[in-house]
Amino acid sequence: MKKKQKQQKRPSSKNNEELTLKDTLQSDMFQALKDKKKELEKAESIRKEEEEKRKREEMRQREKNKSFEELLGESSMNWKDFK
């Protein structure tokens, strides 16, 4: 027990300052990585917008090509009310 307590109280020999990726890389390399990140985020947002546009178009085409039976089935009107 005493050995474990002594080991835990011992201060660490590591430097207290934490180095970040920015500190270890050269500034031009860090800037290149930031630029690449922005490009990828922009490409991702464009891809998502195109996907949403494609889904809206598919939904519109599906709605346009529905049969009379499908439209009648989705209708909330009751034929008994018009008898």
Q: What is the pTM of this model?
A: 0.51
pLDDT digits (tens, 9 = 90+) for 5-43: 555 555 444 554 677 766 777 888 888 989 999 999 999
Beta-carbon contacts of residue 30 (< 8 Å; ≥ 6 apart): 21, 22
pLDDT digits (tens, 9 = 90+) for 67-79: 888 887 887 777 7
Type of residue at 73: G
Question: Residue 72, class by beta-carbon neighbours within 10 Å (0-12 exposed, 13-18 middle, 19+ buried)?
Answer: exposed
Helix intervals (H) in 10-26: 21-24
